[in-house]
Amino acid sequence: MSPTNYLLLSALLFSIGTVGVLVRRNAIVVFMCVELMLNAVNLSLVTFSRINGSLDGQVMAFFVMVVAAAEVVVGLSIIMAIFRTRRTASVDDANLLKY
């Protein structure tokens, strides 16, 4: 199978993630959509690595995974803090700051 198909799949996953961030209301689901975007990028990196015939892309995918894991720690702790005070994780309810 041509590696280009993987690039298309990656673009599709990235788009799904983007749409998910824009339309979903629960902070955790929004965050999962961001993770989907990051993993779509990983797929792209690995595919490009294959096309270019170098290992750099695969190494970069590892970096991305580590960074994504760190982001999960920080993100979930922030979401949990706001859930404790508000009893909701909906991003629509966080509306004190505007205009």
Token pair belonging to 83: 């859930």
Give me the least distance between CB of 40 and other proteins, in Å please. 7
Please give the Cα distance from 96 to 99 (Å, whole number): 10
State how far the alpha carbon of 23 is from the alpha carbons of 38, 40, 63, 65, 91, in Å: 18, 19, 29, 25, 11
Q: Does 13 bind other proteins (CB under 8 A)?
A: no
Q: State the residues that interact with other proteins by CB under 8 A.
A: 7, 14, 17, 21, 27, 30-31, 34, 37-38, 40-41, 44-45, 47-49, 51-52, 54, 56-57, 60, 63-64, 67, 70-71, 74-75, 77-79, 81-82, 84-86, 91, 94-99
